[in-house]
Amino acid sequence: MRILIISDHATVSGGASAVALASAEGLKARGHAVMVWTPKEPQSAKTNLWNTTDAKELGKWLRVAMDLDRETIVHVHSWTQHASSSIFPVIRASGAKLLVTLHDYFLGCPNGVFFNHQTGTICRKAPLSLDCLTTNCDKRNYPQKLFRIGRQLIQQRQIRQTVQHVAVVSAYSHARLQPFLTDMRVHDVPNPVLVDACPPAMPEKQQQVAMVGAITKGKGVHLASDAANAVKRRLVFVGDGPECEAIMRARPVANVGFTGWVDRDKVLDTIRRSRALLFPALWEETEGLSVLEAQACGVPVIVTEQGAARHSIVDGVTGLVIQPTAKALIAALRRLDDDSLVERLGRAAHARYWQAPRTLSHHLTQLERVYQEVLA
């Protein structure tokens, strides 16, 4: 089988790119002919809307792939930030079969997260309704919102004409996106958790807490920073993003750390050396891979009640589920001053996860099955 994987990012900068690159390596190891394509043109408003230059280059890749194997699968993991919807008419013209994994909510929401960045609240408005169009919900400004609306209208047309098969990563995201999946075949393909089997960590012996992922407001990074500071816990951020500088200005250096984007081993090492993983998202995540990674390591998680991540936690058994407020997070962190509770939660999380681990091998088997269905 020949597979062309498309990702906005050539290196790991979040869950979607991590899954795209890991699956490419895994499929290649299984004997498939795998190519990974990422856009090269410098990012700009123009390329974000319609990336003509890179689309032409993709067309060349596809012609080569189709000449080698008429049963070529194109698997798109991300496109909205760089590749743009310009990839879809090129894929359609090539005759290659297409699968799109929905790692976010861009299929339905111009912001990609069903979230009002101005108010810090989840958005329940119908996308592209008059109420939506007249609301400034963008993290920058209203002109940027109008730009996103234009991009969304272009995307909708291309998606309708090109995409017949999509993969969803959780039951939660499937339900949230259901109104936008008309006339599409939906495949349930949860993301792999890239953690090898290991004994549980000993979080009860650790002092720091950690967050993993993009350092953005919607992920609750300021909530986490404020709460950790209130209980005098050092907080380590694994990742990067626009809020790093604001957090560094507000917090003593001794109480906060930033690793930047690091390799998988360093991510897991930071999690294992933590008392708990914090996942205080303000918006609705499609899954929340770091929550599963922490459980696989035997580290308790404090997660907010909205979004898919909450459904992987048994409250009071494998972690703590809270409301998205500083008061609730501070209270949860204080509960985890109890070493025996931390130990119990961590061991239970580890045991529960490894009863049905989300391994890369299982993910690849699911992908191969879905690819066959797409080719049929």
Reply yes or no on whether the pLDDT at 253 is more than 70.
no
Asked if the structure places residue 197 within a domain, the reply is: no
Contact 295, 301 (CB under 8 A): yes
* Model pLDDT, residue 34: 97
For the chain, helix (H) and strand (E) counts, in that order, are 14, 14
| 96 and 147 share one domain | yes
Residue 145 sits in a domain of what CATH number?
A: 3.40.50.2000
Identify the pLDDT of residue 69.
Answer: 94
Q: What is the pTM of this model?
A: 0.95
* Within-domain flag for 198: no
- Asked if 47 and 122 sit in the same domain, the reply is yes
**Of 64, 263, 85, residue with least CA distance to 161:** 85
C-alpha to C-alpha distance for 165 and 150, rounded to whole angstroms: 24
Per-residue pLDDT of 105-132, as tens digits, reads 999 999 999 999 999 999 999 999 999 9
User: Whole domain around residue 302: which residue ranges?
Assistant: 203-355
Q: Is the pLDDT of residue 136 over 80?
A: yes
Chain centroid to Cα 274, Å, comes to: 22
The Cα 84–Cα 257 span in angstroms is 34
27/360 Cα distance (integer angstroms): 10
pLDDT of residue 252: 72
Tell me what pLDDT residue 175 has: 97
pLDDT digits (tens, 9 = 90+) for 141-177: 999 999 999 999 999 999 999 999 999 999 999 999 9
* 254 pLDDT above the threshold of 70: no
Same-domain status, 6 and 119: yes
Mean pLDDT, residues 291-312: 97
* Statement to judge: residues 365 and 219 lie in one domain: no
In this structure, are 77 and 94 located in the same domain?
yes
Share of the chain above pLDDT 90, in %: 95
CA distance 212 to 270: 9
The predicted pLDDT at position 201 comes to 98
Give phi and psi for 245, each to the nearest 5. -65, -40
pLDDT digits (tens, 9 = 90+) for 225-238: 999 999 999 999 99
The residue to which tokens 């294992």 are assigned: 272
Q: Chain-wide mean pLDDT for the chain?
A: 96
Based on the fold, state whether residues 363 and 351 are members of the same structural domain: no
Compute the average pLDDT of residues 321-350: 98
Judgement on whether residues 210 and 161 belong to the same structural domain of the protein: no
User: What is the pLDDT, as a whole number, of residue 193?
Assistant: 97
Q: In what order do the strands lie in the sheet with 97-102?
A: 33-37, 2-6, 72-76, 97-102, 165-168, 185-188
Average confidence (pLDDT) over 94-110: 97
Tell whether 244 and 185 lie within a shared domain.
no
> What pLDDT sits at residue 251?
80
- Residue 34 resides in a domain: yes
In the chain, the number of structural domains is 2
**Residue showing tokens 């790692």:** 103
Size (the chain), residues: 376
* Predicted local confidence at residue 250, as pLDDT: 86
Neighbours of 29 (CB within 10 A): 11
Where are any strands of DSSP class E within 16-76?
33-37, 72-76
Short-list 76, 140, 153, CA closest to 110:
153
Instruction: Give yes or no: residues 86 and 110 share one domain.
Output: yes
